[in-house]
Structure 1
Amino acid sequence: MWEIASDSKVLDVNSSYAYVLWCHDFAATSIVATLDGRPVGFVTGYRRPTDPSTLMIWQVAVDDSCRGHGIAATMLHHLFDRVRRSGVVAMHTTISPDNVASQRLFSSVAQRRGLRFERRDLFAAEQFADSHADEDLYLLEPELVEP
């Protein structure tokens, strides 16, 4: 997973220890795609402590050699189907404004699942100690029904 994240050139890369720990502690809310026994993609996520009905997606990555085959979307759908059985109804993620590919990915997942897709400001670049772009919050949630 560390290699895939590092090779992505887009993700903030965590330590290799962090990825191993993530797989151990957050296996129920994460997924890894494999090909011939080797990881080719992953989604890491967790249930929001203040709202356990929401799955917060931390990172999505697919190996360069496997991009363009729908692996990221497939992983997100499989993961969401799995966590729905335990009461999750919404998915949130953060995406920088220049990451159009991720915006399209989550928009298509929301559309296919019949979820509302909304962007909100979250973190401004000035809030980060290093050079980092803004991070916007994207919400994939059920439509609100008026009584």
Structure 2
Amino acid sequence: MLNRVMSTPASSTSNCKRVEEELWEFRKPSLMDGDNVYELIKRCPPLDTNSAYCNFLQSSHFNNTCVVAQCDGEMAGFISAYIKPDKPNELFIWQVAVSPDYRGKGLAFQMLNEILMRDGMETVNVIETTITKDNQGSWALFRKLDRQHGQNGEVSTFLDQEKHFKGKHDTEYLYRIPLNLNA
């Protein structure tokens, strides 16, 4: 069983949770969320802004592995992820976006755990993500997840700044974290 961080439910029929004095909802995104996801990511440098169409696809085709966090109805966070097609036990976390207004509350970690607790995620035993050298928020998030699961993660170069991006983008480092299902 995964060791997961959760807040106390506000009610048994809702996926809303109280965090301090705020009412939070963690849910799968829907097609109607695509534009709000796009606008959120635009406000979250250093994240790459993809097309709005991409965010609509994430919010519909990949919504089982993505999560929206809302505070009192406002979109405060979003994680896009997918099960790797050739490795159904591996979840790739594409982007983690937390509105600047909601940072420092552990929201990204809660969203990540929300995805891992969903039905259908029981077979996931590895998480992968890519992070640029200067994205300290993502490094902190995934190091925390790695510590929670026995600190067996490995970092390697995935996409090299010169070799793959021809100098137009920073190197993306692959962080591979085996999940200790007994943690």
Task: Give the TM-score of the pair, scaled to structure 2.
Answer: 0.73
> By how many angstroms is 1:113 displaced?
3.4
The structure richer in helix per residue is 1
- CA deviation map 1:70-127 (0-9, x unaligned): 0001001111122664411111000011112211110101212335221011110121
Aligned match of 1:58: 94
Give 1:27 deviation, angstroms: 0.7
- Equivalent pairs counted in the alignment come to 143
> Is 2:164 the partner of 1:99?
no
> What 5-or-longer segments of structure 2 have no aligned partner?
1-36
Residues 1:46 and 2:82 are matched in the alignment: yes
Task: Name 1:71's counterpart in structure 2.
Answer: 107
Question: Percent identity over the alignment?
Answer: 34
8 Å CA contact 2:126, 2:179 repeated in 1:
yes
Query: Is 2:57 the partner of 1:21?
Result: yes
Q: Distance in 2 between matches of 1:60 and 1:32?
A: 10
Question: Which residues in structure 2 correspond to 1:62-141 (within 5 Å)?
Answer: 62-82=98-118, 85-114=121-150, 116-126=152-162, 127-128=164-165, 131-141=168-178
Distance in 2 (alpha carbons) for counterparts of 1:112 and 1:41: 22
SS at structure 1 position matched to 2:117: helix
Q: Secondary structure at the match of 1:8?
A: coil
**TM-score (normalizing by structure 1):** 0.90
User: What's the offset of the Cα at 1:142?
Assistant: 3.9
Q: Which runs of 4+ in 1 moved over 6 A?
A: none
Contact 1:93 1:138 (C-alpha < 8 Å) held by counterparts: yes
The C-alpha deviation readout for 1:51-74, integer Å capped at 9, x for no partner, is 110000000010010000000010
For structure 1, the residue ranges without an aligned partner over 5 or more in a row are: none
